Amino acid sequence: MSAQAEVLQQAFTLGYTYTRTTGPVVGRFLTALRDRKIVGIKGSDGKVIVPPMEYDPVTAEELSEFVDLPDTGVVKTWAWVKHPRGKHLLDKPFAWAQIQIDGSDIPMIHMVDAGDESKMSTGMKVKVRWADETKGFITDIACFEPA
C-alpha cells in the first residue's frame, strides 16, 4: 500500500479591469448629482422613482419623464450602526436608512449622520449633505443629516 498523496491547496487571486457606460437614464441621475441636484423618473403608475430606472418595473416600457426633486426627504425606516467598520463610508456611528426624497414615491437607501441613535426616528425629516467635491458618483451625497 502506498501512502496517501498529500492533497495540495493554493490560494489564487484573479482580477481584470472593465468599463461601464451608464446610459441615458442613470447617466442623467449621476450627472445631476455632480451638479448637486437630484432627479427622479416617473413610472407608468405615476410614481416617482429615485434613483431613476431605465425601464418601467411594471410594464417594462422605456421611461423618460424626469422629475427635478429637492435635496430633502423623510426617513421611512432605519438601522443604527454602532460600530462602523473600515469599509463603511462614515467613521462614526450612523444609520442606514430608507429615505423618501420629497416629491418621490419610492424610498432609496443611504446613510444618515444623526450623531446619536436617540436622534433617529421613523418619519424624521432629513436633507442631503453634499460631498466637498462632486464627481457624478452616488457618494456625491456624502450622507443625509437631520433637517
Partner 1 sequence: MAELAAVVGIGQTKYQTKHKTVSIAGLVRDAALKALQDAELTWDDIDAVIVGKAPDMFEGMIMPELYLTDALGCNGKPMLRVHTAGSVGGSTAIVAASYVQSGMFKRILTVTYEKQSESNAMWALSNAQPFSVHLNAGAGGFFAPIIREYMRRTKAPSDAGIKVAVKDRLHGARNPLAHLQLPNITMKEVEESPMLWEPLRFLESCPSSDGACAMVIANEELAAQSPKKPAWIRGAAMRSEPTMYAGREEVSPQAGIDCAKDVYAQAGISNPRKDLDCAEVYVPFSWYEPMWLENLGFAEKGEGWKLTLEGATSLDDKGDIPWNCSGGVLCSNPIGASGMIRFAEAARQVRGDAGNHQVDGAKLALGHAYGGGAQFYAMWVVGSEKA
Is residue 7 a contact residue for partner 1 (CB under 8 A)?
no
Is residue 121 a contact residue for partner 1 (CB under 8 A)?
no
Among 1, 5, 7, 8, binds partner 1 (CB under 8 A): 8
Phi/psi-derived region of residue 56, left when phi > 0, alpha when psi is between -120 and 50, beta in every other case: beta
Q: Which is nearer to partner 1, 138 or 147 (CB)?
A: 138
* Cβ at position 7, least distance to partner 1 in Å: 12
Q: How far apart are alpha carbons 95 and 76 in whole angstroms?
A: 12
CB 135 within 8 A of CB 28: no
Window 17 to 76, contacts with partner 1 (CB under 8 A): 17-26, 53-60, 62
Binding segment (CB under 8 A) for partner 1, from list 5-13, 93-101, 106-114, 116-124: 5-13
Q: Which phi and psi angles does 93 have, rounded to 5°? A: -55, 140
Is residue 16 a contact residue for partner 1 (CB under 8 A)?
yes
Give, as one character, the DSSP assignment of residue 12: -
Among 7, 11, 83, 86, binds partner 1 (CB under 8 A): 11
Tell me the number of residues near partner 1 by CB under 8 A. Answer: 25
Among 2, 3, 6, 10, binds partner 1 (CB under 8 A): 10
Q: How far apart are alpha carbons 109 and 93 in whole angstroms?
A: 17
* Nearest CA-CA partner of 127 in 138, 117, 110: 110
70's CB contacts (< 8 A; 6+ apart) are: 38, 101, 102, 103
* Cβ at position 81, least distance to partner 1 in Å: 26
List residues near partner 1 by CB under 8 A.
8, 10-12, 14, 16-26, 53-60, 62
